[in-house]
Structure 1
């Protein structure tokens, strides 16, 4: 693959930005004015000097061919990755107007590229060695047993607290306030069941959240009760469902599925954050296998995760699935070539088929919030104070989730459609449909909506 013949779109570059401020600042640096000595190589290296406020220009270099997505190095003091200079340089390179010509990388860029690729190779070698080592299976078994005892105690206590809530009446939850749920969640953390803790914390936001909150609270309590009972009776469950229960209570597992080599289309990438962690979700679609896979990457609070894959690229790679009934999560394995833009699109279904697909998935994982779905030939349509995606060739529609209606991506979707059918990838669940990426009818590049 020759990088010089491959150009990303501006949307694909800006999708890498850690926040809106970086996206705006990087866009301003996407012109040739502040740059000098910019260049690129066939191996996927882009570099340049950017004039700043100091006496010396900032040295910026990007490794586009990195297996985990672009990697960046800049001499500026910014703690964001990528910084505005890296975004600006990528935009300049993506323009393809000769502002970033092919050439030989300068010493400062070549040294960084060589060093990081050597470290990556050492890390892969060390990982292979550790994976093949004998370890101490007996010690691991004892640790797992001790943790299982703690989780069982936590699940039993949580069952009692749910019973007390129902016995006293749901109105008491509104009077007790958020403190009740935070204290219960802390108890689940002590029990080493972070999955239970996260679900309990969500209960605290439901009372007094608007009309119908008692129904929503009861529904969520029922799901937690089901998860508790699944854990307490895990030995009787089918293997895949038991693996799902372990994952939902917070037990980590390794990606033990057989590696699937494919041409993986990057469907969507978006981040969610709380006070402690930023989680990045990257959806992939296998052009040959027809499988949809989810990659998860994490970063400490305030820092973007390292793994980054712009929407609309295709990578030849292997992925391995995590255990669980119908779990889409996978781990990225060996990559055989750098990501390249592609015109490949995933096949779509109707809105009615999408709803049915979510219903089928709930049989294997009752706690599933949504499933990845591509809708074919739908039109964004106002529905009173809300919006929906209506089938262009049928009578059914899916409402958009409240979060989707408040995102700027909704208006990008409406503008892309212009009243005509579009193909849309997103997540379909009990709250509705969240659009993440769209393609215009006919030809055209993928448009990120998140």
Structure 2
């Protein structure tokens, strides 16, 4: 039988290899470490965790990542099995002994009769055969160049800073209002494409003071400190002058406060829809290198965001990822070269579990194709399906940035408007629906 070749033995590549082999398909798993290292990795083990040792919340009733854990366990995931076996006490989170965990994953892959691990760097992308690229944010320079060659010069982006994303239902619309600058747009929806949060002069000055004083993340050794113009952190802009932000992303021109039309805001923070469902909004131009604790304090100073809940906080790091909504089909194949699938963080998901989940799907989809079939993605009412939907079309390609799984990616419940509005009711309903639909997806294979 034709093998599937997988580039990268991180969490996504390891899970993809396990799933394909479990389906009876031979696997060639290519890993450049330890012969070719990175500044972050310390070993040549598969599934080495280079940052935290936590897979975050294991609550599969009230938490979207916990639901993702449940789905991966239900699908026979290797990563979750080894995490469960080597978990550490961590309250409601799933944390692991990272060295033992990686060694256990490596041993399981080595012991599987259908998996061959091949050492060495892959620097070209073949135009034949079935390949899964699961190289993560630290893709080697040579392979990154090869990916650019098949996707386009600007398709593989390296970003230093990303902006936070807010759950739409936590924005105070008694303070904020919907309006595009100068009411631009041919339709009413386009004319109300942004949510605007006004500031008077005192609020603006206090915000700038807090922004400049906040704790910030610095580059780690081995990372470069250059910024891309389109992703300049707001702290860097503020350091150039107190009025810089008011003449940049916070300019108040072309906007009228719907609640107080007679008052001219001194500055305005704009939020733009980040997904097709309208459940998530990103803070426009607010790329940041503030530490997470500081971000919640500073951003909640913005009128309208006093009680904001964040689907993702901003951050700063080297990150290589595809503009997946413009490049991948819903089977995670490159539209221009369908023999190439992508999985893991390189697709624009953020987090260990999300990366492994995309590997799980890529491995199953590749195996189904090799065996003469087609495997559709899970319904996007499930955690995995919501992620795949987001990266392959649900997100706006023009503003696409890496994303963790969260309930803002799930389609609303049918009876949400009938009274099920509180999180205590809404979240269990999301996860129960996801479990039912994921079981049906598995049963159909």
TM-score range, shorter chain: under 0.3
Q: Greater strand share, 1 or 2?
A: 1
TM-score by length of 1: 0.28
Bigger RCO (CA 8 Å, 6+ sep) = 2
User: For the pair shown, which has the larger CA radius of gyration, 1 or 2?
Assistant: 1
